[in-house]
Amino acid sequence: MSGVETAPDGLPRCPWGMTAESMADYRAYHDTEWGRPVRGDDALFERMSLEAFQSGLSWITILRRREGFRAAFADFRIAEVARFTEEDAARLLADTRIIRNRLKISATLANARLAAQLAPGELEALIWSYAPDRADRPAPRSTADVPPVTPESTALAKDLKKRGFRFVGPTTAYAMMQACGLVNDHLADCHVRAATEAAAAS
């Protein structure tokens, strides 16, 4: 039984975000970003940071503030965020464009400093080293077939924690893996799944 839902445009999509109040915001993200490979240290740092801010909240809350986050955090350029001061932290706590959570802001700045100590490309290599073999993952038929955590996300979270990274537990790590294309969790009958697979193979 297919778990997709058909949108007003007639295309079958994964059911998350298909409520009337969020569909317009989610549609472009679902169709053109989610599940497609993300490369580059800064781009992956952005996704890691946004997933951490999402913890305990809905993704739509983050998605609607993403441009505000980018403006507040220097487009998530690791080298720049790593130089943020206590004054910058205070500025962020007062910035209504983002989620003003002291612990998450502190973790993002600390994570940037750790990432800045890595060699260029090392963060990307670290994260992608935990991508599972796609041949071993059948396409999910419904959201019930999509796990909240996997052995790979648990191992990635453990590795990051060992290096000092914060707010990246197994569930958050798996959400990042889904968003960044390390896995393809578009449902089997979702109209985007084939294009997402092709993007991963290119």
Residues 6+ apart with CB under 8 A from 184: 35, 134, 137, 139, 193, 196, 197, 200
Mean pLDDT, consecutive 10-residue stretches, the chain (202 aa), reads: 80 82 83 96 98 92 96 98 98 98 98 98 98 91 95 98 97 97 96 94 84
Is 51 an active-site residue? yes
Catalytic residue among 59, 130, 152, 174: 59
Catalytic residue among 5, 29, 33, 197: 29
Question: 62, 52 in Cβ contact below 8 A?
Answer: no
Is 29 an active-site residue? yes
Catalytic residue among 51, 124, 130, 152: 51
Predicted pLDDT of residue 20:
66
